[in-house]
Structure 1
Amino acid sequence: MTEADSDPALSELAQRIKHWGSELGFQQVGITGIDLADAEAHLQTWLAKGFHGDMDYMQRHGLKRSRPDLLQPGTLSIISVRMDYLPEAAATSQQALDDPAAAYISRYALGRDYHKLIRNRLQKLADKIQAEIDPFGYRAFVDSAPVLEKAIAEKAGLGWIGKHSNLINRKAGSWFFLGEIYTDLPLPADPPNNHNHCGACTACLDICPTQAIVAPYQVDARRCVSYLTIELHGAIPVELRPLLGNRIYGCDDCQLVCPWNRFAHLTGEGDFKPRHQLNSQELIAVFAWTETEFLAKTEGSAIRRIGYQRWLRNIAVALGNAKTSPPVIEALTARREDDSELVREHVLWALAQHH
């Protein structure tokens, strides 16, 4: 038993932190230490295989990602939180994914950018702690620094990392965001999630449109639709384009098929609800957006980070995969002379699919 576990004041504070987190809209709060040795080994193997593709930032920070006290000196404990974001019934999302004319956007990106919302809530949580115990050392993260958030959440008891590499919770599935507060408080750690409940299920591996889940718990990002449509700056590999279907920003297939997501809860956060009908747009309609329209309709959205050219690049591929029709060919033809070489190349590929 550590000093933190035996200190009644610290145990009481840990319980209060969880209560305050719940009041701030987090569905679960867990606390863990900073030993991520197992996750570090997994990360180094993943990087050695080149599975990170062009995501140089995954290795740029050395061991800071897996050693929290290198990233934030003095860190002794990590507060890990999760917040549900599912904006609509999974059946509704599946219906959009099954419609070749629909523009499918990963459900996490339909509303306002989650980074700011969760960061603000984490700051409020830190403020509450500070009001209780006076100033303390901390730093909040929301997918914004070299942090192994899923490994931390697993150690904090929030769930287990599934075969698709997402965190799964028995009572809430996987449709949730994660956030962390690194702190110099020696808080008592919660028991880690030592039970993996994936069993013999391979649904996520089987459904992956590009077969990016090359083995259980191993995702080759270079084949992943989310990587190809969001992280990749250049041309999408020609051989993978037909496999993207109508997915123009991210991919949810492995979550839609996961049996544990029958326990997922719809979000109660208004900011995560779809904006500008992004959950029901047609490919032809969004392909016609001017850059001004794109910027206006993605203001405050995670989608904006890919920029207008990659947005058009992704939609061009989806239109190449759509059913051949005069409106589809007309929409693509209208952008044959686009100012962007990246867009033109994908438009020409798409047009070739309809001849």
Structure 2
Amino acid sequence: MAKQQSATSNIMSLLQEWDKGSNYMIGTCLKLQLQAITIFVSSSSGHKFLSEFMEVGGVLTSLEILGLREGKDEDKAQALQLLMSIASAGRNYKELICESYGIMAVAECLARSKSEETQDAARMLLQVLAEGNPKFQVQVYKGLIALLSSSSPKAQQMATQTLRIVQRIVGHANPSIVEPVVALLKSYHLEVQYEAIELIKDLMEYEVQESLLRSLVSSLVPTKDEIKKQPEILDDPSVPELKRPLPVFVQQAAAAKVIGILSHQSNHLCERLIQLRCVSNLMVAMGNEDHADSQRQASITLEYLVRTFPIVDENVNEAMGDNLYQLFLNNPDSLYMTMNAVQADVLRSNKVNIPGIVDALD
């Protein structure tokens, strides 16, 4: 009897506290309230509840919860689940969320959240808002592009993953995607680099192909200003405090790797990369004594081009000289460990500009 009275008293106290809450910002049992609403609106017979929730401004309230500075991540995750249930009810509901500036609210939540659960819920909602929603799919696409420049590596990874899906839905590539996706190659996080490389491979099927190829070739030779600049990424607290290379050198190595992948993927891409002077730039990267991975990746990629195209082989041999050329061919992936400073300087100062390249490749 005493236990029953105690339980009843606890419930009454909880209900009284709940009743005192005049709005959601107080946070009284907010997650529990959102869970209850989600159950009702997502049930098979929940159309009436959904309509009533929409009429009282439920979407705007849910979106505002996402932007609360002091809000709990678990509350935001549940608000995202509620919005997912609403979006799943049909295209009209997706449009209503988007018309309420929902894309921006969800994207900002993804960028700012420290909880992977909340970030994943936001990512999934953005994907759903792009599917079967032609009126707003481009807006979702642009929102995801904006997230590529986020300071959160997890947000960058998730945005890039989702862009691969939304890119196919939209069917064309916005030129604004080129700079941020190539900039992701500077990341110290391998999972971010991986997703960026996969997206770049996908984008070869779209009208930004030429811009991407030019940007990748350019990334092989960082400017003096880029090398001197101290980027914010060096302050990334999620990366161990080791002796880390400059982000532009990380990008240089990744660009050499991507060029190698694209060269194997298509002869057309391979030929265009050569026309854009990637051979000369790969040699410069091979001579970068400040970053062994740049040297290694550039050497591996150049070896493929040399063995595939006789004209490249001829010009590289002439530029390197016989001794360095033989060292290079014998062990391209470990050349950086055996060559001396003079040989590295030869690579950095090469002037390879293959004449008549178009005719020769044809």
Which TM-score bucket, shorter chain as reference?
A: 0.3 to 0.5
Q: Which of the pair has the greater relative contact order for Cα pairs under 8 Å at 6+ separation?
A: 1
Which protein has the bigger strand share?
1
The structure that is helix-richer by fraction is 2
Larger Rg: 2
TM-score (norm 2): 0.32
